[in-house]
Amino acid sequence: MVTPTMPSQKKVDVVEMLRLEAERLRILDLKAITKAGSGHPGGTLSLAEVMSTLFFGGIFRYDPQEPSWENRDRLVLSEGHTAPILYSAFVEAGLKGWSIEALMDLRKNPDVIAQGHTTRGTPGVDASTGALGMGGSKSLGMALAARYKGLDYHTFCIMGDGESEEGQVYEAASNAALMGADNLTWILNRNKAQQTAGTQDLSHVRFEDWYKAMGWNVIVISGESAEPAKNRDYITALRNALLQAKKDARMAGRPTIIIADTLKGKGVDFMEYKNQKPGEYKFHGVAPTNEELARALPLIEARLGSPDVAEMTAFLKDGAVTPDVKRQVNEANAKALKERRQKLIDIRSAAKVAFPAYKPTDKPVGTRVGFGNALTFMAQQHPEVVATSPDLQDSVHMFDLEKMAGRQTKTNPTGAYFPEGISESDAAGKCAGLGMEGLIPFMATFDNFLLEAADELQHASAFGSFYVAVGTHSGCGVGPDGKSQMGVAMPAVIDHFSGVNGELFDMYEAADAQEAAEITRLIVEQAIREGRPRHPVYLRCTRHNIGHLDRSGIPDYLKKLVEGSYVVPVKGAKGAAELIVVASGATVQESLKAAEQLATEGIQIKVVNVVSLNKIQKPTSAFVREQLEDKLPLVTVHDAEPNALGHRVKDAVNTARQIGRQPGIVVRSLGVNITPLAAHVGSGSSEENYRRNQLDAAGIAAVLKQVLNK
């Protein structure tokens, strides 16, 4: 493996230069925050030495001319509010796109690159952060992607001590240890304080014990003082620890955490945290005034002195990779990537896997089965497909994928199944990291348990991460397990993350197992053909068994699937329809049965299957253009919270009006009633739960007749 550049000047005192550079970063950082008039000086000041050492101490591999160089090391600043100190390092490193002026535009408006919290798209920023607790999982996903793809980049993540109270940090730490992710190094900014209090006032965890107990390699270094001699010792220890962590990569079998024992506000006496009582420390989230800045700068400058400008400039330049090393790194990684890809293909080639092909007469199955079988097939075809499930691998049908492609462990880096404990947030965040590195990750759990990762899902849509979140066991059809296992809210939740036009989240729900398989194939093939989308994808499946639709009367079925909805022919229907039933998922077939029953009574119903509930409202959608009928009333049917589908169909009706059509109105939205005391859902058969919510064929037919006054 190629090692990164090292500051090469023989005569230069590297540690002293890093110390001086940390002080220069402090000055830039405080000036930017003061100018912005808002920000987090305390946390940023405690990270000055970390940034200086990472970027200029021969640790972090980067090319300032190509900030998104594919073989750069990765850095996730999980405590995203400390962004200005990272930006200051970018400026000093001469990262393309950055300048003092850009830094001084901090927080100015949504166009500036110096956003208040680190945001992807900014040169040098590898992950969007700011909602605390989420960066660790992303860093883990990035590190595991490197291992899977055979690449040698190292992933770093910086976290706050207060931030570490977030449960997801534990989830990610536990999984990183399980996976033996030794190409991953976390740096804990143990500066003793958080927003409203000292960290000891809100948590008594001893990080060294905690991480050791989880199986991490733990290094504690002391850096509470900016006094030059003490700070030199800190920087020396920090640099050695970071060098060691990189050296151990792919050998140690466990991730490293460097607990950097610092002080909040380090280096500016009146900004330092000094065991103030809760509520009394000022400089967490308050920018210095101009007067405070004027008092702070001399304190820093006194330790900085006046370093030789030419020497400093040369030293900073030396932090970057040289063209020679870059070439070697590129060559080595291109070769490794090619070899690994071939190996992944070879491993999978022997397995006999077929794409699902259900016939209408086949035994009913849950749509999850169609999804799981198709996923195994797609993973065989495309080694970019990887999968995880928080301890529900059996329920979500991912065991076959593991059998075919192997389980990812420290001794089996080619496994496409990435095991995960009962940690939905970490699973989702890890998938975001895997997706950022070009893989096609699927994360599956019960539909209801996706809610545990709601912050990650929202984050993925807001910041454009790609992975596929699959919710199986959806709706009240789950049956005997009862209400806590019934996912009914997720379609509405995801829809609300998907933007006005649904462009921030692709949503799919399958009406039968074949449809789940086709959607799975569609998602993978689109990502391969058109490149990874800049948004996540949601697929909703059932646990309970449902029959198979007869698609023989549906021409161009796959094209219709892409359009987001299609008309399902009703057997025995004659003449013009009197009402449109719009259904999604498992209730499509119940609606169809209801329509077939009513057809025998001379009542004509049109049935539309909505595959993507957030596509139908667009003016270009097949639903608006072709499937709505003038004046016909609409009834929506969904095994979910009723307004999810109901709301989008109403949107579609509005859109149709705007383009000059005369659709009828939505008269009823059938869905699941989870009122605590009403006993509409609970343990019992799927049929019974459907019956109680009028989601079964008989219930739907009764509602339709009532609406039509028949």
Ligand X SMILES: Cc1ncc(C[n+]2csc(CCOP(=O)(O)OP(=O)(O)O)c2C)c(N)n1
Binding residues vs ligand X (CB under 6 A): 40, 42-43, 79, 81-82, 130-133, 160-163, 189, 191, 193-195, 264, 284
What residue 523 binds from ligand X, Mg ion, none (CB within 5 to 8 A, per partner kind)? none
254 contact, one of ligand X, Mg ion, none, CB 5-8 Å limit per kind: none
Residue 189 or 388 having the CB closest to ligand X:
189
Among Mg ion, ligand X, none, what does residue 81 contact (CB within 5–8 Å per kind)? Answer: ligand X
Question: For the chain, how big is the Rg over CA atoms in Å?
Answer: 28
> Which one of 4-12, 157-165, 570-578, 683-691 is the stretch in contact with Mg ion (CB under 5 A)?
157-165
Whole-angstrom Cα distance, residue 148 to residue 343? 11
Q: Between residues 273 and 371, which has the closer beta carbon with respect to Mg ion?
A: 273
Query: Cβ closer to Mg ion: 191 or 414?
Result: 191
d(CA 473, CA 691): 18
The residue (of 132 and 583) whose beta carbon lies closer to Mg ion is 132
Query: DSSP secondary-structure letter at 544?
Result: S
Reported as half-sphere exposure (CB side, CA atoms, 13 A), residue 216 has a value of: 28
Output 47 or 416, the one with its CB closest to ligand X.
Answer: 47
Q: How far is the CB of 163 from ligand X (least distance, A)?
A: 3
For residue 162, the Cα-to-chain-centroid distance in whole angstroms is 22
DSSP line for 302-356: HHH----HHHHHHHHHTTSPPHHHHHHHHHHHHHHHHHHHHHHHHHHHTS-----
Of the two residues 325 and 451, which places its CB atom closer to ligand X in the complex?
A: 451
Q: Kindly write down the DSSP assignment for every residue of 444-511, as one continuous string.
A: EEEGGGGGGGHHHHHHHHHHT---EEEEESBSGGGGGG-GGG-B-SHHHHHHHHS-TTSTTSEEEE-S
Residue nearest ligand X, Cβ-based: 160
Residue 191 or 367 having the CB closest to ligand X? 191
The tokens of 689 are what? 């739960």
Given ligand X, Mg ion, none, residue 536, with its beta carbon under 5 to 8 Å by kind, binds none
Name the minimum Å distance from CB 125 to ligand X: 16
- Please tell me whether residue 161 binds Mg ion under the rule CB under 5 A: yes
> At its nearest, how many Å lie between Mg ion and the CB of residue 372?
43
132 binds, among ligand X, Mg ion, none (CB under 5 to 8 A by kind): ligand X
Stretch that binds Mg ion, among 141-149, 160-168, 210-218, 221-229 (CB under 5 A): 160-168
Residues in the chain: 710
> From Mg ion, ligand X, none, which one binds at residue 692 (CB under 5 to 8 Å depending on kind)?
none
- Whichever of 414 and 423 has its CB closer to ligand X, that residue is 423
Partner whose binding site includes residue 195, from ligand X, Mg ion, none (CB under 5 to 8 Å by kind): ligand X
From the list 209, 132, 202, 217, the residue with the least C-alpha distance to 167 is: 132
Q: Can you tell me which of 136, 162, 223, 370 binds Mg ion, judged by CB under 5 A?
A: 162
Q: How far is the CB of 199 from Mg ion (least distance, A)?
A: 6
Considering only residues 36 to 95 of the shown chain, the ones binding Mg ion according to CB under 5 A are none
Cβ-proximal residues to 521 (8 Å cutoff; 6+ apart), any chain = 355, 374, 377, 378
Contact region with Mg ion (CB under 5 A), list: 153-161, 221-229, 446-454, 567-575: 153-161
Whether the Cβ atoms of residue 636 and residue 650 lie closer than 8 Å to each other: no
Looking at the Cβ atoms of 81 and 246, the one nearer to ligand X is 81
Cα torsion at 486, 491, 496, 500 (round to 10°)?
Answer: -170
Is 191 a binder of Mg ion (CB under 5 A)? Answer: yes
Interface residue with Mg ion, options 4, 136, 160, 415 (CB under 5 A): 160
Q: Residue 300's closest CA among 53, 34, 24?
A: 24
Q: How far is the CB of 164 from ligand X (least distance, A)?
A: 7
Cα–Cα dist 392/38, whole Å: 44
130 or 150: CB nearest ligand X: 130
Of 437, 512, 489, nearest to 467 by C-alpha is 437
For residue 283, the minimal CB distance to ligand X (Å) is: 9
Taking CA atoms, 185 is separated from 82, 216, 217, 248, 257, in Å, by: 18, 10, 9, 10, 6
With CB under 5 to 8 Å by kind, the binding choice for 328 among ligand X, Mg ion, none is: none
40 binds, among ligand X, Mg ion, none (CB under 5 to 8 A by kind): ligand X
Pairing of strands 565-568, 605-610: antiparallel
Q: What angle do CA 71, 76, 78 make, to 5 degrees?
A: 175
Residues that bind Mg ion (CB under 5 A): 160-162, 191, 194
